[in-house]
Amino acid sequence: MNVSQDLDIWTLVVHASIVVKVVMAILLAVSFMSWMFIFQKWFSIRRANAQTDKFEREFWGGNDLTALYQGAVNNRHTIGSLERIFEAGFREFARQRGQKTGETSSMVESARRAMRATFQREMDYLERHLGFLASTGSVSPYVGLFGTVWGIMHSFRGLANVQAATLAQVAPGIAEALIATAIGLFAAIPAVVAYNRYSHDIERLAIRFESFMEEFSNILHRQSNR
């Protein structure tokens, strides 16, 4: 096998040591899962933004709150996060108001707590798999570096009994080891970019949800005094 054949990517992978092959396999599996979560999260956040925009237009368009609540109840499995927050708050407010056992402040506070609990559940759902992307971005380069170091050690150990080592003898072993680092970076870079982008998008959604809860609480407070 000549030097050009030795430096062929597939040949380098095939002739890598078993440890380096295991590292490459792990990194490729992590990269596949990372890309799967990246696309999944992209669709999830895009849908959440669209559903939030739609509900805000309906809510601030002057529609009756009871009608909005009934629509949310009837379509519970397809509504967005903001509409679920509204549903939880209005349901608790209507229950407290129907019982007529509390003051205005206590009714509004109960609705606020209900919205806050739903808000936490929705944020937990939106942030799902972000931890995996963060871990992939921070750990993958080091896993690839471990494979590279091990491969270089293995390459130099093979030259222990050689009296005159040449570049042609060393280059294939070093090149196959460096592939592990390249795969680690291939897994890490998209994960870091996606994590930063999605964290920003989810934070903006959280701000919109919290602003709505405050504004809706004020509306409930005014309604309870009528």
- Range of the structural domain that residue 214 is part of: 3-224
> pTM score, two decimals?
0.82
What pLDDT does 169 receive? 62
- Supply the pLDDT for residue 89: 93
Q: Where are the alpha helices (DSSP H) in 100-129?
A: 104-126
- Give residue for tokens 């509900």: 55
Burial 30-39 (b: 16+ CB within 10 A, else e): bbebbeebbe
What is the C-alpha separation between 122 and 55, in angstroms, rounded?
16
Q: What is the dihedral of CA 218, 222, 224, 226, to 10 degrees?
A: -170
| Predicted confidence (pLDDT) per residue in 7-26, tens digit | 566 676 666 678 878 888 99
Q: What is the pLDDT of residues 50-59, one digit of tens each?
A: 999 999 999 9
Residue-wise pLDDT tens digits, 173-190: 677 778 888 889 999 999
**pLDDT for position 1:** 44
Half-sphere exposure of 31 (CA within 13 A, CB side): 20
Q: What angle do CA 69, 122, 74 make, to 5 degrees?
A: 25
pLDDT score recorded for residue 122 = 94
What's the structural domain count of the chain?
1
Confidence of residue 166 (pLDDT cuts 50, 70, 90): low
Per-residue pLDDT at 130: 94
pLDDT digits (tens, 9 = 90+) for 98-149: 776 667 778 889 999 999 999 999 999 999 999 999 999 999 999 998 888 8
